[in-house]
Amino acid sequence: MIDTLGPGMRVTGLRIRGPNSKRYLDHHRRAFGPGGAGRAYYYKFPTSNGIRTDHPSLEVDNCEVSGFGLCGIALVKSNQHHIHHNFIRHCQYQGLGYGVCHNTASSLIEYNLFDWKRHSIAGTGPPGDRYMARHNVELGVSLSHCFDMHGGRERKDDTDIAGTSIEIYNNTFWAPQTPVVICGVPQEKCEVHHNWFPTYVEPNTAIRAAAAVQ
């Protein structure tokens, strides 16, 4: 819906609603379930992004972003992005469905409310992909785990790299799904600390990682 054409852009104070607020579980099963029609069939159904950039220093604040099948805010590349004080919800198309997603980008994601999505924050995890997520609140409904970073297995690039740096702290998770999943080994660090998890999430399952997390 919104694609930035240069650096230093700010999107503020808008309600941005997309066309795909549902989970489309049946479509996903038809594509990837037993005897499914496969990836080509899955992507015949159109996907959508709310805000997209591949230029540096995008700021998105005080917005309500909802109903996008692929991603509410897509940070394709570049750095110094700041995503803060937003309500990001109903981005939950099964197989995709991200609140904020990264490719080779770096960002600060703070003071946001997330609800009704598949992953609130996701990264494809190549070198250069990094984020700091702090002071965010998961309000309670999630199709899958909340914050993640993909590893080489998902990219099929014969590495175990899960981004460059990940910092997750002072967040509150009310969703019953696993709060944090890191599917590989970050190049520099992964620090997850001082977060609040619901009492029905076991401490030893709140974080799943391929390597030790500080």
Per-residue pLDDT tens digits for 77-101: 999 999 999 999 999 999 999 999 9
Euclidean distance between CA atoms 72 and 61, whole angstroms: 13
C-alpha 58/C-alpha 156 separation (Å) is 29
Any domain includes 8: no
Strand 119-123 vs strand 98-110: parallel, antiparallel, or unpaired?
A: parallel
In this structure, of 14-18, 192-196, 198-202, the range with the lowest mean pLDDT score is: 198-202
- Say if residue 210's pLDDT is above 80: no
Question: How many residues in the chain?
Answer: 214
pLDDT range class, residue 202, cuts 50, 70, 90: confident
Q: Is residue 113 part of a domain?
A: yes
Strand partners, 65: 16, 88
Which residue range is the domain that position 136 belongs to? 13-209
**pTM, to two decimals:** 0.94
Tell me whether residue 88 is in a domain.
yes
Give a three-class secondary structure readout of 70-129: CEEEEEEEEEEEEEECCEEEEECCCCCCEEEEEEEEEEEEECCEEEEECEEEEECCCCCC
Residue 104: inside a domain: yes
In a domain, 3, yes or no: no
Q: Which residue, among 143, 144, 206, has the nearest Cα to 171 in the 3D structure?
A: 206
| 7 inside domain | no
Within a domain: 4: no
Residue 5 located in a structural domain = no
Q: Convert the pLDDT of each residue in 28-71 to its tens digit.
A: 999 999 999 999 999 999 999 999 999 999 999 999 999 999 99
Q: What is the mean pLDDT of the chain?
A: 94
Confidence of residue 12 (pLDDT cuts 50, 70, 90): very high
Residue 213, pLDDT above cutoff 70: no
pLDDT of residue 150: 94
At 212, the pLDDT band (50, 70, 90 cuts) reads low
Q: How confident is the model at residue 209 (pLDDT cuts 50, 70, 90)?
A: confident
Domain count along the chain = 1
Residue 80 burial (C-beta neighbours within 10 Å; 0-12, 13-18, 19+): middle
